[in-house]
Structure 1
């Protein structure tokens, strides 16, 4: 998840922060009026949240019961700072601090289909708008019938969607989870049989993060009738996730902390190989792991279930590889499995929601962010209406702001010497361009983006705004723009990103 503030703050909800346990946000946890939400218990979302009783609030952390259990038992956050809400349960938030009146916001968690306890967060505003923060999610059609989402989508009430864009590149279109799980379980069953008596000295290694991929563990254990080895810390986590509604969350019943009691072991992601910048298997680490056990294994098969399995031609070509490590044959298999949405699933979800705006929560930089925004179908009519409404409102306030203690009004545009220009004069055209550019700057577009869009639309400001908010500009990143040097310092450079910058 990106550290940008746009990923952690819900529009029109001051004092409400999502997965914002990092940087300057940590200072905000000291304010009792601030409210924090943790969408799920993964490291890139709980960030720098203090451990081992060191979190002193007093800001409360709202989450699902499963995430609450992990916060209390594993993270050791004092219980008085953790507030749990079940899926489908609506709770109230008061942006202005009052407990009465029209400012009350309703918040509901629904299952994100990501890891045990993960939630998408639906925020219903008093004016009827609905915002959605997906945290991390794997889209499933069940989300179309979540009551509040279904109602808001059908009435075109969904305003802003803060979207998990981990796999927002069109190249990411991996197989359904069920197919990946079946592939791993079937291959394991073929090697181990249906009980340990059938074992032919083969060790199965399953790569996992702290929580997540329990569906894989459950299916492999069920088909082979063997327990799954996990270390003590992982066992404590498995006990915490039993509150989650899926059967695979009861995997603790099929786990053991005795490494010699089973041929199926959970290992940390990274032990069997690195995925970045391309897949690099680590055969020797797998062989050394096997040698440390009592059973004299002659074959090790390590599975790495990940969405990055299809991330490059190299990964696809080398998804299965083998190496003989001095008497132990090591086979490492990349499996296209993810608990994040594929690109096609993201498109389907956004098309169902038809929001006014999509805010990516995973991106490299501003240019990447606006490129991602342009891949999704938004309600362009509402988007244009919102931007023009903003422009009208802000334009009406030009010159009305007063500096503290100042007696005269502040002119946002520095006065320039009067110029004797004819209507067709290039300077006259430049002057008009500057005024349109200034108006678009008030709408939140970067100077370069606005400048480029105005050039492409031949000075038509409405068309320029439409191009930017729909991501349909055709200018290349370094297109030529009107040279405004010497007229106003609004323009920052001549490099034109295709869409607005908002950071």
Structure 2
């Protein structure tokens, strides 16, 4: 829809169902990343299966989906392959955001902003809406994307394209990245809201020297900004768990792979 590829040029593959392509068995599995993301298991005739994770966030369900498979080669999402990135589970961060909104809502003229990508972070703002039982404002463009993702009707009821109907707005991630941009938004809404509370959900907000916290709060005047380590990629600990679970004979890092030195360093960390 976004880039105009005709539907008749696409072959939509089922999840959890083995299909054969050019003599190789291929199985697509949910990657627990953004909607539509998949792990791909290739099982060639030579008996050496290859698992390509793509971007993913390890969860226990994956262990049961792959429990009978011996992985020979693992092509692994190594976005956070560094011990400093040991952020909390998604559920803990979602709970932190919900409680932060409840704590900041003492001022009825507060606008809450939640950062999002074109696709990604849906579970965060959907859980906020469900638990608080408040509609979330999205743009018409965002609504068309969400409609493509085929969420159930009971989820879609929490979204509105009427800006006046909600004080919780989903916005592009770049708009919550700095106080400068947030102050510009604050000026735009000065007649309706006296306080802006923004959430920047990304694993990059978590780094060395910080305790394993589900979020940090910063304030400048009438703008409050929360950095919350809500990641749709594995933490370092989860990467190690995943590797230990399958003990592949070969690991190929798919992120930050700058040659043999970086590969060897990441593989050593994963096996340490």
SS at match of 1:363: coil
CA distance in 2, matches of 1:184, 1:375: 32
CA distance in 2, matches of 1:91, 1:203: 48
Question: TM-score scaled by structure 2?
Answer: 0.91
CA distance in 2, matches of 1:227, 1:372: 43
Question: TM-score scaled by structure 1?
Answer: 0.51
CA distance in 2, matches of 1:137, 1:89: 19
User: Match of 2:268?
Assistant: 374
CA distance in 1, matches of 2:164, 2:210: 35
User: Match of 2:99?
Assistant: 186
Q: Which has the larger share of strand?
A: 2
Larger radius of gyration: 1
* C-alpha displacement of 1:369: 2.2
CA distance in 1, matches of 2:191, 2:211: 32
* C-alpha displacement of 1:260: 2.0
The equivalences for 1:311-390 within 5 A come to 311-313=207-209, 319-324=216-221, 329-363=222-256, 365-366=258-259, 367-377=261-271
Instruction: Determine whether 1:145 maps to 2:64.
Output: yes
Q: Deviations over 1:289-333 (max 9, x none)?
A: 243348521111100111011124489999321111xxxx10001
Instruction: Determine whether 1:307 maps to 2:229.
Output: no
User: Match of 1:256?
Assistant: 160
* C-alpha displacement of 1:251: 4.1
Instruction: Determine whether 1:223 maps to 2:143.
Output: no
Once the two structures are overlaid, the 10-residue window that deviates more, 361-370 or 286-295, is 286-295
Relative CO higher for 1 or 2, CA cutoff 8 Å, sep ≥ 6? 2
- RMSD, aligned α-carbons: 2.3
Q: Deviations over 1:20-78 (max 9, x none)?
A: xxxxxxxxxxxxxxxxxxxxxxxxxxxxxxxxxxxxxxxxxxxxxxxxxxxxx223211
Q: Deviations over 1:221-269 (max 9, x none)?
A: 12332211111211111101125xxx7x964321122222210011111
The equivalences for 1:40-79 within 5 A come to 73-79=1-7
User: Match of 1:130?
Assistant: 49
Count of aligned pairs between the two proteins? 270
User: Match of 1:211?
Assistant: 119
* C-alpha displacement of 1:375: 2.2
The equivalences for 1:98-117 within 5 A come to 104-117=23-36
* C-alpha displacement of 1:214: 1.2
Q: 2:171 aligns with which of 267, 278, 290?
A: 267
Following TM superposition, the consecutive aligned residue runs of length 4 or more in structure 1 with deviations greater than 6 angstroms are 314-318
* C-alpha displacement of 1:370: 2.1
Residues 86 and 212, structure 2, Cα contact 8 Å, conserved in 1: no
The answer for unaligned runs of 5 or more in structure 1 is 1-72, 95-103, 194-198, 274-281, 378-470, 472-503
